[in-house]
Structure 1
């Protein structure tokens, strides 16, 4: 963000100062200064950026929140504008193979801090029984009766390198909803190149397809493994692959 000072010409603009800040911040968000879904800087930093008090920033954020431009949870305020900033690659949704038009009725995603499946532990280089962040996704397919379910385990490297993932540890009780759809974008912003390897098999005597996705970074360090089961009676599988690190 380039520093701005909305109070330099107080007589030229009849709008309240907090509204000026809200409008300027919204303009910067439309320009892609903070990508959709990402967290805004703290109030103190934004107060310095706009040259106003933290209370004025707080009022400006309230305006954008009421207008549906921001969403707020325990981790802070996040940009709720649709789409991606111009010139940025389309984000690869997590977990692999989930339906693009989420949220949908019946879909649920949670995280737990627990020992992963044995196959996942081996792939991630984790000692048997060592806990990590495990993400579970379950969704019915619209109008077909088919279902998709995915279990993802993250490596110690992913949790150490990606701040947004690490924050989930303290509330990973496998009950609260946890939408991690921007996980791959978070990884890229942490400077990680993402290399995906998918293994697709069809379990015997079923109408399902199993997809095992392994993701590692540019140093061949494992980041995550996802085990996806898809009822394929009518659904199609759509894939996108390697993305470079951000910046």
Structure 2
């Protein structure tokens, strides 16, 4: 954030200072100064940024919290605007290992409502046998090699709080095609901060790599776990990340 100073109120502007700071901060957030889900600078930095006291900043932040535009936990305040700002980087494609280009005709992705694998149930804190939303993805290169298969289990938190995922529950029959490539974008739109942890293991008995991705939110609640298997004989698994500059 570049330093700004709240404008002097016009004769007709009788808003208190904290309200003017809240409105100005909201305008900067909508312009993309801090992407949705990311943490705001501390109160001291914001006070310096706006040229006001920390108490004024505290009151301004409380206004935005009441309006559902900020969420606060032990790590600080996070932006909870209902969508990515203009010019924000393209989010990671779901699932892990999905080819970055548009899906080909022979790629297949389906959803089902059923019991996840035991390892997934344990990672999501589910009682064994409890159903949840499952996503299965298969992709094969043009020459029939470089096969990729991924199985994802979403947590009840993700299904309950991400509207786009919840819509799939009633039609998750395991057969209908369901491309969820924007799932991470949907989670961020729902105000969730995404923490990814990928474990990559070389399968010693085959020419393949196993990647297990676990994602949780800013409250340490599990959101999803994906198990990906990639045939690496003629293929490459590429990870690309975009991190915002420090404000």
Indicate the TM-score class for this superposition, using the shorter chain for normalisation. 0.5 to 0.7
1:196–1:213 Cα contact (<8 Å) kept? yes
Greater shift, 234-243 or 206-215, is seen at: 234-243
Q: 1:243 to 1:195 in 2, by over 3 A?
A: farther
Partner of 1:140: 140
1:216–1:222 Cα contact (<8 Å) kept? yes
Structure 2 CA distance for aligned equivalents of residues 240 and 116 of structure 1: 28
Give the C-alpha shift of residue 88 in structure 1.
1.4
1:208–1:233 Cα contact (<8 Å) kept? yes
Structure 2 CA distance for aligned equivalents of residues 118 and 144 of structure 1: 31
Give the C-alpha shift of residue 122 in structure 1.
0.2
Partner of 1:150: 150
Matched, 1:197 2:197: yes
Give the C-alpha shift of residue 208 in structure 1.
0.4
Q: Structure 2: 5+ residue runs without aligned partners?
A: 1-83
User: Runs of 4+ in structure 1 displaced over 3 angstroms?
Assistant: 240-244
Give the C-alpha shift of residue 105 in structure 1.
3.5
Give the C-alpha shift of residue 101 in structure 1.
1.8
Give the C-alpha shift of residue 102 in structure 1.
2.8
1:195–1:241 Cα contact (<8 Å) kept? no
1:198–1:212 Cα contact (<8 Å) kept? yes
Secondary structure at 2:224 match in 1:
strand
Instruction: Give the root-mean-square deviation of aligned CA atoms.
Output: 2.0
1:193–1:243 Cα contact (<8 Å) kept? no
Any idea what the Cα deviations from partners look like across 1:146-195, whole Å, max 9, x if unmatched?
A: 20000000001101110000010000000000010000000000000100
TM superposition score normalised by structure 1: 0.62
Partner of 2:16: none
Secondary structure at 2:203 match in 1:
coil
Partner of 1:163: 163
Partner of 1:119: 119
Q: Which protein has greater RCO, CA pairs closer than 8 Å, 6+ apart? A: 2
Secondary structure at 2:100 match in 1:
coil
Partner of 1:13: none
Matched, 1:105 2:105: yes
Give the C-alpha shift of residue 104 in structure 1.
1.2
Secondary structure at 2:213 match in 1:
strand
Partner of 1:87: 87
Partner of 1:44: none
Structure 2 CA distance for aligned equivalents of residues 157 and 86 of structure 1: 28
1:195–1:243 Cα contact (<8 Å) kept? no
TM superposition score normalised by structure 2: 0.62
Partner of 1:210: 210
Q: Structure 1: 5+ residue runs without aligned partners?
A: 1-83
Paired residues in the alignment total 162
